[in-house]
């Protein structure tokens, strides 16, 4: 399937983030394979074995060994008219580096097989063994997905619904007022201690993280602000 909406919610947001980064670097990518069913995986496994073509995977569908079956991976291709898998200019390596920059895993780092068009969520490692051990089947894993995160849009402008502390990392250490840049100090409700971002302060959402059920957003400045905290909406989109 090529339906991004079938992927893990966190990966959907990471794809949007990666596309923005690629666009800034002049790298035009398209999104190919996303979630795969058992039948689709078995069909790929048969290629080069019982069906014509080259071998493209070592994972049978019935083993749930492909990251695609768990909705935590996607394949990309070159979409600039120079050939979908033309590696000129280290195209796939450059995109892979950007993916790793935002916390994703890249199949180009694998030893066997090397899979340069493949990008994945790396929270469960480079294989599916941890997922199979914890959940057994993709269906059980998918029932645990928190889709609240999809209410937010990467690149959108948001405003806080109440004063909140800025963090140096998701749910991490609070930002000291004395260390904050002037434009952040100007949006603080206090003139000392920890930065308390005032109600209605605007920011551009660049990344989202889920920590213990709370959602945090990274602003352009690199600081983190609560988006959905203790079951309460803390930021709303305004543009």
Q: What is the pLDDT of residue 83?
A: 96
Q: What is the pLDDT of residue 230?
A: 87
Q: Greater confidence, 105 or 231?
A: 105
Model pLDDT for residues 34-81, shown as the tens digit of each residue: 999 999 999 988 998 988 888 878 888 899 999 999 999 999 999 999
Mean pLDDT within 13-28: 93
CATH of domain 151-237: 2.30.30
Q: What is the pLDDT of residue 105?
A: 97
Phi, psi of 199, rounded to the nearest 5 degrees:
-60, 135
Please tell me the pTM assigned to this model: 0.75
Q: What is the pLDDT of residue 163?
A: 96
Neighbouring residues of 105: CB distance < 8 A, sequence distance ≥ 6: 99, 119, 120, 121, 122, 126
- Look at residue 217 and tell me whether its pLDDT is greater than 90: yes
Mean pLDDT within 72-93: 97
- Look at residue 1 and tell me whether its pLDDT is greater than 80: no
CATH 3.30.1380.10 fits 4-145, yes or no: yes
- Look at residue 133 and tell me whether its pLDDT is greater than 80: yes
Q: What share of the chain is helix, strand, coil (3-state, %, to 5)?
A: 30, 25, 45
Model pLDDT for residues 143-196, shown as the tens digit of each residue: 999 887 888 888 999 999 999 999 999 999 999 999 999 999 999 999 999 999
Mean model confidence pLDDT for the chain: 93
Domain ranges across the chain = 4-145, 151-237
């Amino acid at each position: 399937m090529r339906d991004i909406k079938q992927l893990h919610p966190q990966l959907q947001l990471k794809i949007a983030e990666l596309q923005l980064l690629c666009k800034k670097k002049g790298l035009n990518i398209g999104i190919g394979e996303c979630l795969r069913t058992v039948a689709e995986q078995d069909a790929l496994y048969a290629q080069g074995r019982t069906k014509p073509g080259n071998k493209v995977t070592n994972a049978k569908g019935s083993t749930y060994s492909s990251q695609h079956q768990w909705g935590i991976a996607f394949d990309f291709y070159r979409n600039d008219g120079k050939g979908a898998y033309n590696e000129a200019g280290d195209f796939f390596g450059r995109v892979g580096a950007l993916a790793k920059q935002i916390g994703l895993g890249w199949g180009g780092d694998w030893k066997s097989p090397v899979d340069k068009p493949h990008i994945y969520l790396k929270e469960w490692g480079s294989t599916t063994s941890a997922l199979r051990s914890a959940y057994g089947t993709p269906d059980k894993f998918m029932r645990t997905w928190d889709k609240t995160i999809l209410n937010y849009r990467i690149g959108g402008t948001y405003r806080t619904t109440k004063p909140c502390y800025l963090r140096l990392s998701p749910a991490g250490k609070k930002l000291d007022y004395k260390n904050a840049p002037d434009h952040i100090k100007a949006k603080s409700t206090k003139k000392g201690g920890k930065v308390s971002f005032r109600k209605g302060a605007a920011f551009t959402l660049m990344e989202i993280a889920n920590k213990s059920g709370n959602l945090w957003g990274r602003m352009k400045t690199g600081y983190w602000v609560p988006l959905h905290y203790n079951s309460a909406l803390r930021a709303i989109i305004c543009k």
